[in-house]
Chains A and B, each alone.
Chain A
Amino acid sequence: MKELVVISGKGGTGKTSLTASFAALAGSSVIADCDVDAANLHLVMEPETFRHEEFFSGHEAVIRTQDCIKCGRCQALCRFEAIRFEPEGRIFSVDPYNCEGCGVCVDHCPVAAIDFPERRSGTWSLSKTPYGTMAHAKLDPAGENSGQLVSLVRKEAKERAREEGKSLVITDGPPGIGCPVIASVTGASLVLIVTEPTLSGLHDMERVLQLSAHFRVPALVSVNKWDLNQEMTVRIEEKCLEYNVKSAGRVRYDKGVTQAMVKGRPAVLTDIPAATDIRAVWSEVEKALTTLKKEER
């Protein structure tokens, strides 16, 4: 089984629109939406959810006010600035958004007045779509540990692929280069970096190139809306060659892509000029996938 992960560095480069089109072109794969912070893929995939689960991640500290002796030890030891002191009520409390779940305050409270319950951080689902089964998730507002939820979505997608005998998982990755991105690219067969011909696009792509080199995942690049700035497109493709990363082709600027999204359909299934470009990119990606030696476990 192989796994293609579509990432971008910078957000809003058209990563999800391309992923949806690839899923439609692949016809029969398992799809994973790993942008758990702001999942969008389902908006163009007509999903029918058949499994829905809660996601718990680690624990969070909760101070039992009635047992607290207000010694302030927890506040002194916490490295995450998560213990608040409210002067009016003279109460110590835990700010759940800053709490890292390390348990230091729990272990060191002299009167054991801190509870450590499991924390619900989101939900995940499996859905039927016209293009294959899709694993997707939603992090709760201000939820913690999106990296772990990403790993869970990938794992579920791979398990489905194994069960259904599918040979490809297509993953829509999160933006950035931090924990959730690392969680979505480690051990993948191939990443496709979708960028745009802007200074930010160039800069962010370079950071993603370094990341995929760091984790030794082969990469391809595609410049979306390339005709907005031809010179920058060339610069981006040249930069990629420095990292030994080839272009899988360019996609032109086409308002039809947004219109397809408004209609809730993958862009490649509509009759727009950019659809030709997306098909060409996909055939390059497919070629790269078949020549890869390493099989995904």
Chain B
Amino acid sequence: MKIALTAREKNIDTEMDPRFGRAPFFVVYDTEWGSYSFIDNEQNLNAAQGAGVQAAQNVVKTGADVLITGSCGPKAFRVLQTSGIDIVVGASGSIKEVIELYNKGELKAAQGPDVEGHWV
């Protein structure tokens, strides 16, 4: 199973990024191998619009089964849901801690987006 998280830096001991669309990186943790990989979301930092949609697209491409982030808007939520990816919102802490919490079953998948779409 693969777990994707939003990250500010390429370091699993640092705080995860609560933003989804405009987070600079995604970290993908593979539970089977215990390995981490980092994916650039940089092209989205300055996107004119639709950063959430494209970030969701990037997560879909990683083959992740679950995304853990701070908040997720309605458009990204639809893309992820349609692609069969579980979404956990409201998470905070270091990347390592959050993954541990998830593995202990303490983080539950959200049923819907938790924030209004930003217009762009």
Contact = CB atoms under 8 A, between A and B. Distances in A.
- Do A's and B's CB atoms come within 8 Å in the complex? yes
Ranked 4 nearest A-B pairs via Cβ:
A183-B119, A187-B116, A151-B120, A58-B48
Contacts of B120: 147-148, 151, 183
B115 A145 contact: no
Contacts of B117: 186
A297 B71 contact: yes
A125 interface: no
Interface centre among B49, B115, B117, B119 (most CB of A within 10 A): B119
A216 B46 CA distance: 27
A179 B46 CA distance: 19
Contacts of A297: 71, 115
B108 interface: no
Contacts of B49: 148
Contacts of A147: 119-120
21 contacts: A56-B46, A58-B48, A145-B48, A147-B119, A147-B120, A148-B48, A148-B49, A148-B120, A151-B118, A151-B120, A179-B119, A182-B119, A183-B120, A186-B116, A186-B118, A186-B119, A187-B115, A187-B116, A215-B116, A297-B71, A297-B115
Interface string B20-54: 00000000000000000000000000101100000
Contact of A57 (B48, B71, B115, B116): B48
Interface of A: 56-58, 145, 147-148, 151, 179, 182-183, 186-187, 215-216, 297
Q: Is the interface of B mostly helix, strand, loop or mixed?
A: loop
Contacts of B118: 151, 186-187
Nearest to A59: B48
Nearest to A181: B119
Interface string B94-116: 00000000000000000000011
Interface residues of B, number: 10
A187 B46 CA distance: 20
Interface in B36-95: 46, 48-49, 71
Interface of B: 46, 48-49, 71, 115-120
A58 B120 CA distance: 13
A114 B46 CA distance: 23
Contacts of A148: 48-49, 120
Nearest to A144: B48
Nearest to B19: A297
B75 to A, nearest CB: 12
Given A147-B119, A186-B119, A297-B71, 13 more contacts: A56-B46, A145-B48, A147-B120, A148-B120, A151-B118, A151-B120, A179-B119, A182-B119, A187-B115, A187-B116, A187-B118, A215-B116, A216-B116
